[in-house]
Each structure stands twice: as structure tokens, then as C-alpha cells.
Chains A and B, each alone.
Chain A
Amino acid sequence: KAGVTQTPRYLIKTRGQQVTLSCSPISGHRSVSWYQQTPGQGLQFLFEYFSETQRNKGNFPGRFSGRQFSNSRSEMNVSTLELGDSALYLCASSSQAVNTGELFFGEGSRLTVL
């Protein structure tokens, strides 16, 4: 099986712009989560989608949004970019099988805001 695929891998934006990141989960996985990783802060939960519905949301401002499509692919969008949004954005998928909680991460999209 192919792993979790994230695009683009690297991108540079300027303050005030917006960005859309894409995530294709492992085939058959219906849960997709997004995390922001910054040095010193670890991984912080953004949101989680299951069957096109947002089930959980982290403590990020409304500039951060996401969605999931019927094929389980997911996108996240950040509007009005700020310097502090520079980070590695990780997508993870889960099989949602009973008693398993393993998240399978993609390699991430590294966003630099200038």
C-alpha cells in the first residue's frame, strides 16, 4: 500500500497570502488528522476529519480550516499568513479499526512565511 502523501512538500509564501495543503491518506483509511510541528512546540493538533465531517478541532485561529472529500483526501487552508505560521504541517491517516490508534504520518509540507 502507498503511504500518506502530502503535497506540496515545500513552499514559500509571504505574509498576508493564503495557502492550501493537500493530503492523500492510505487507501481504506477514512480518518485524516492534521498537525503543526514547530521546534520546541512539538506536534500540535489542528483538526481531524472522518467521512467528510470535522470531528475534532484544536486551539488554532479561524484562519486555519480544512475539509475532507468523499474519497477521504483532505486539504487544509491557512488564510492571511503570518510569520508564526512557518512550520511543518503533518497529515496523518488512521484505519479506525477497533482498538487501534496508530496514526500513519505523511512526510509533511514545510511552509515558510516571509
Chain B
Amino acid sequence: GENVEQHPSTLSVQEGDSAVIKCTYSDSASNYFPWYKQELGKRPQLIIDIRSNVGEKKDQRIAVTLNKTAKHFSLHITETQPEDSAVYFCAASISGNEKLTFGTGTRLTIIP
């Protein structure tokens, strides 16, 4: 089955700097890659996703890149703000299949 590895497990970034979280996946059939943000004590929420027919997608300060050949994808957050502090999970699945395989999460701390 699919296996998703996520690095780093913790990341501290000075406010205003950029943060990058990386994930690799094992199943070449996977074609849908979402990122979820989970604030302390809250539910996970989708922040951005990308499909395998696209190499990069941006939404304001957040971007995701996908390298299908290397089977890895990354989350980039620019101009980080205190409200970006949370746990971020990457995931992979086959589109239409609601089974998501999640990475183990990255705890991002923004230092004021």
C-alpha cells in the first residue's frame, strides 16, 4: 500500500521567514496530494491540494510543488505569521478514492 514520509517533524521559523515541509510517497498511482493544517485542539482543515497533472499551485502565501518522477511534494509558506503555527499533514491518494494516506505531521512554530 501507499506510504507517505514527511520531514521535518518539527520546524521553528522566525516570523516573516519562509517554511518548507517535504513529503515523499511510494505509490506511483497516487495522483491527489492535499495538505491539512491542524491547530492545537482543532480539527484538520484542508489548506491546499495539488493533482498530478500540475507541477505547482499557489494560494496567496502558500504554495505546493509536485515532482512526480521523484515522487515527492512540498509545502512552502512565505512571510510566515504567528497564526501559521500548527501541525501540518501531507497526504496522498488516488483521486476519487477517499482513502488518504497521511504523513506523520510537522509541528511548525513561528517565533515572533
Contacts and interface: CB of A to CB of B under 8 A. Distances in A.
B69 interface: no
A99 B6 CA distance: 25
A90 B103 contact: no
A105 interface: yes
B93 A101 contact: yes
B98 A48 contact: yes
Interface residues of B, number: 25
Contact of B104 (A40, A45, A107): A40
A45 B49 contact: no
Contacts of A55: 98
Contacts of B42: 107
B32 to A, nearest CB: 5
A94 B102 contact: no
**Which of A50, A96, A102 has the most chain B CB within a 10 Å cutoff?**
A102
B99 A33 contact: yes
